[in-house]
Amino acid sequence: MEHLSTVELVEKPSRTSSSSLPFALPEKRGVDSFSFVTSSRNTQDDTSSFDSFILRTSADYSKPKWILLPDDNIRRAWELLIVFILIYIAIAVPIRMAFLISESYFLIFLILIFSKKKKKKNQ
């Protein structure tokens, strides 16, 4: 019964260890132990309010359900969709700016180009 209700308050690790592996910790530990880091223990974070809970595990216990972590699959799919739209935007928007001034003007432009080339050949 003791270990069921343990919530470890882990002190803030060094910069290198925390930045390299933020999600590797929960698999190594037991099932019941999950670790939070409160900002009150951090010396560098001056905030001590309750809403500044910072989660270190991918097993989410304190976060609301609608908040998506960076490795969430739905979020990844959404970001992939946005990337595809960005590729489309980056290619299509300049083309449309260039060519859709009007359709007939573009044809005139093409005719002018080819006619001038023929004149140069004749000269």
Partner 1 sequence: MIINFNRDAWLAVDLVVDILFLMDIIFNLFFFAYKKWNGKIVVSQKRIMFKYLKSWFIVDLIATIPFYLFLHSSTLTELGTVNNLFRIFRFSRVITMTKLLRLIKISADKPNFFRKTQEFLSVHALLSKLLWFFMWAFLAIHLSACIWIFVAGINVSIRK
Contacting residues toward partner 1, per CB under 8 A: 15, 18-20, 22, 37, 51-56, 60, 62-64, 66-70, 75, 78-82, 85-86, 88-91, 93-106, 108-109, 112
CB of 3 to partner 1, least distance (A): 25
| DSSP one-letter code for 67 | P
Q: Kindly tell me which of 1 and 97 has the beta carbon lying closer to partner 1.
A: 97
Q: Which position has the token pair 């001056």? A: 46
Reduced to 3 states (helix: H, G, I; strand: E, B; else coil), residue 81 is helix
Q: Around Cβ 20, how many Cβ atoms within 10 Å? A: 8
CB of 69 to partner 1, least distance (A): 5
- If we measure between CA atoms, which residue out of 61, 69, 10, 70 comes closest to residue 38? 10
| CA separation for the pair 37, 91 (Å, rounded) | 45
Reduced to 3 states (helix: H, G, I; strand: E, B; else coil), residue 55 is strand
CB of 121 to partner 1, least distance (A): 21
